[in-house]
Structures are given as structure tokens and as C-alpha cells.
Structure 1
């Protein structure tokens, strides 16, 4: 069920977000997504839980190389892939299928594309997708249903300071917003708790990417997302505007350092949270799912 529109991010156009979700990457996973996935995978060394099952949420855009890192780390665990779009599922299946001669066949189990276990997976991995969701609370609630009791979620997304230089440039030139706004990590923590997760741990870092030319900068930015702001320019941009943008982009090169390269900041948010045993609130009538009842019975009666 969709959440209250008043609680959703106010600057995401749902139609544009849905169109982006269905669009397959032209040339594999974006480099930045792979790098963030590598850094997030490195954080798994601090988590003692060893999942028996795990699922990768939308790895074609989130990171195929990151998926391989998890497959090596959890080589004895059963791996699932979740792609909500059939076209992306086909592309992902082809990308993740190792040829018979490849060493990747011995680096981890083959990913499954069928339904995840009824009781959920021990780890749900979601790299760089949450900031592009029109209804992130509904997405987090869906993730909560996919995670097994005592399992955990690991995710990454972009934060509010992302491309702040480009936003300032657009504002100075009097153009509509360069992109939709991103959610603060503290708000993500609140949403996780609201969905039923526990002990959320949030972390943030800033990554600065540089490019030698405007063409190179725009080419990479196109792989990372789209402007989902409802007040974005409503029509196709002309050649004159595109020329003006390329002329203005070199202004984003740091004056004192950077050797004249265009530089943009990306705020990256990492988060993980566990799914505790469900608790039933005291009320005249209470309804729980069969899955939740099974988890409570396995835990035992409180106070017994």
C-alpha cells in the first residue's frame, strides 16, 4: 500500500521515477555504483551474522561486480536476485550467467531468479536504488517483508549534498532545479524504524568525481540517474541550452586545485538494520500473519 503523499519526498515525479526504473543501463552497472557497492561490501566484515540466504535488489543497475563480491564472501549461501522489471531480469540473468570456462562458476553459487523463501532471506542487499524511489517508505516496507526474522538489510543511496555544485550553477543561471532533492540519513533511519526494522546504523561519506571535459561529465551523469523533480524543465532542451551548459560546466573546477577538471560532490549514505522478532501490541483484537506467528513461537513466550 502506498504511503501518505504528505510523507513522501516532495520533489519526486512518480511517473518519471517509474520510467527510470524500467530503463535498462546501456553498458552495464555505473562505475560509481560499483565503487559504492565495493565499499559497502567491505563493511560486511564488521557484521558477525553469516547469512544462509541472501538477495540482491536490482543488481543490474546496483552493481554486477558488487554482486560477485557478495557471492564470493557468502559462497555457501543461497543467492537470489530480485528484479521487478522482466526486461531487466532477462538482462541481469544474462550478465550473471558465467560461461562454462569461467572461474566465476567456482566463486559462488548460481543466483536464483525465482521467489525468495517464504520466511525471507537473511540478508537483503540494495545498492543505490532508494534515492530514486517515488515512494521510499513503501519500498522499505517491501524490503522488510523480504527479510527473515533476525536477518538484516544493507543499503546505500545518495544524500542531500549530491551534485551541490551543479545545483548552485543552475540556480545562478536561473534554470529550474538540476535534480530532485535527496533525503537526509537521519530521516532514512526514522523510516527504517517505522517499517519495523531495529538498530539502524547510518553512515555517510562524500566522494568527489572529476572529469576533463563537459562531454565526459554529462556522459557519466546520464548513467547515474535522471532529474525527477516535478518542476524540471517540461520540454526537450535545445542546442543553445546544451551549448550554454557545456560552457558553464568548467566553472565547477576548483580554483586552487584539481588542475582545471570539472568536479562534483556525491554524498553517499550507507545503512543497515536488523529485523527483530515481531511483537504484538496489546489490544482487544490483534492480527498477525502466519509467518510472524511462527517467528514468535520459535522465540518462545515472553516471561516464560
Structure 2
């Protein structure tokens, strides 16, 4: 029991660190989050291919609310809940989406639409949402815990649409750091095939996974590190050293990154973006579980009741 309590305490501290990092990043986030905005736009395009009109939508990890704004425009009659782990991000989303919502004269229905929420412990009842939308949030979570929570809050036939980062993300920076010291400076990211397995294990059906690569370029390492800090993407690992980077360490990192410089004179950063979606089966989790504890999913009933392109 003591070991379990220690692990739970460690996880809570990690979540607090992540929350604090994104609270600090909120005011300047949009200026640096070019990739996040582009990936969010790609997610919105994918919704063109899915024939559904959800009544209740959750945008978890909404950040400054760009995704929620698109969801409101796409589903004007739906109740859209914009939620984020960081309260400062929720405040930014409220200003962005709330202003659009009132300007568009979309009825508020007297419900709360902005809240702080953790994807690992969603503060919503079971079977609350027809669509859970999550853009580049899962990488800050334990996937098994997050998927179980998504499964719990999805209504039968509901859709989970998400993006996250794959293992090739920031591989140049990881390689450069490896020549400087032996500490963990870059987060490790889960392979999309393992994520697909976790989706099935959580009781979600018909998972579809694919990925795309983005390359962002910088004139120097300082610009990259500045952007990572601005978007709140600091590493949260046991080996992370506290405090500012010293001049000698920065010089070593710059020298180690230099072999990656392209013929155009810029430093590339690779981002592997994993896209995934899965569906909640037409039965509730309680109905799925047999007496021996096994979980079954009827894909035929799912396909017959949910229209897809």
C-alpha cells in the first residue's frame, strides 16, 4: 500500500508540474504554437469525413480555445465544453470562444462551457458526450488512464478523435542532448501501434491510427528552446535538472546540434504527429462485462447504428 501511495503521489506531482508549465505559457502560447494550430486545423478537416451531429462535445486540452472555436462553428446546436488542465488556458479559451459565441448569437442554454479538467480524471458523469476531441494533449498523460476516462464519458456510439506526438518527435534535439550529458531532456513518446492496443484495451472499438511528419526550422538552438518553453513543453521526468541552463551546457548543445543544419542554413526539428480515432460501442461498460470479467465489443451493432463516410 505504501508503494502504491508513493506512485500516486509522484503522478500527482507530475500533473501539478504540467499544470504549472501551461499556466505560465498561457499568455504567449498562441504566438509560438504554430504546429499545434496547424494540427488542430487538420483534425477539423477530418471531421468533414465523419457524418455525425453530436449533441454534447468535449474539447479536452483546449489550450487557448482554437479547437473549441472550430467545434462551435461546426456544431452550432451542440453544447461544447472547453476544458484544460491549466486554469490560465481555460481563461484564454473563455475570452476567445465566449466572444465568438455571443457574437454569433448561439444560445448558451444556461450551461457551463469552460472548466479546468484533467484528461486522466475527467470531472464528468459516465456517458456524457457524443464526441471527445483532444489535440496534442495525450502526450502529457498516461495513455491507459486517459483512454479509460474517455471510454467512461463517451455515450454509446460516441467518437474519440485525438492527436499526440510519436517517438520520432524532436529526435534531433534528443540526439544532440545525448552527446552533452546522460540526463533525460526530451520526453519519450508512445508508438501509434501501442496506442491502438491501449484503445482496444480500454474498451473502445474500431481504432484507426495514422501519422504525419512536420518539420519546423530555426536559425539557432536558442530559438527552439525559447519556443519549447513558451508553449509549456518542458520535459517532466525524474532526470530533469532544475534551474536554468548554464552557458557551457548551452554551448555544448549548440555544437552538438550543428551537424543537423541544412543546406539552407537552418536547424530542423522533426515532429511526428499521430492521428487516432475510435468509437464507443453501443453498450455501456457495465453491459459489456461478462461474469468472468471479459470485455466484448459488437462491431456489427456499432456499424449499423453510426453513419460514417
TM-score band, normalised by the shorter chain?
A: 0.7 to 0.9
Q: Partner residue of 1:290?
A: none
Indicate which of 250, 262, 271 corresponds to 1:242: 250
Q: Partner residue of 1:80?
A: 81
Q: Deviations over 1:116-155 (max 9, x none)?
A: 576311101111111111x321122111122111111111
Q: For residues 163-182 of structure 1, what are the structure 2 equivalents within 5 Å?
A: 163-182=170-189
**What is the deviation of 1:84?**
4.1
**What is the deviation of 1:92?**
3.0
Q: For residues 35-74 of structure 1, what are the structure 2 equivalents within 5 Å?
A: 35-60=38-63, 64-74=65-75
**What is the deviation of 1:89?**
3.2
Alignment length, in residue pairs?
271
| Structure 1 stretch displaced more, 104-113 or 263-272 | 104-113
**What is the deviation of 1:13?**
7.1
Q: Partner residue of 2:260?
A: 252
CA distance in 1, matches of 2:255, 2:175: 15
**What is the deviation of 1:244?**
3.0
The alignment status of 1:264 with 2:269, answered yes or no, reads yes
Query: The residue matched to 1:173 in structure 2 has which SS?
Result: coil
CA contact (8 A) 2:62 2:90 kept: no
TM-score by length of 2: 0.76
Alignment CA distance shift 1:26-1:242 (3 Å) = farther
CA contact (8 A) 1:204 1:268 kept: yes
Indicate which of 16, 19, 23 corresponds to 1:18: 16
Q: Partner residue of 2:195?
A: 188
Q: For residues 201-216 of structure 1, what are the structure 2 equivalents within 5 Å?
A: 201-216=208-223
**What is the deviation of 1:208?**
0.6
CA contact (8 A) 1:75 1:107 kept: no
Q: Deviations over 1:208-249 (max 9, x none)?
A: 110123332222122151112322335543232123334443
TM-score by length of 1: 0.78
CA contact (8 A) 1:177 1:229 kept: yes
CA contact (8 A) 2:62 2:93 kept: yes
Q: Partner residue of 2:118?
A: none
Which consecutive unaligned segments of at least 5 residues does structure 2 have?
116-122, 295-300, 305-309
Q: Partner residue of 2:119?
A: none
CA distance in 1, matches of 2:127, 2:181: 52
Alignment CA distance shift 1:250-1:148 (3 Å) = same
Q: For residues 222-301 of structure 1, what are the structure 2 equivalents within 5 Å?
A: 222=229, 223=231, 225-233=233-241, 236-254=244-262, 257=263, 259-276=264-281, 277-278=283-284, 279-283=287-291
CA contact (8 A) 1:79 1:109 kept: no
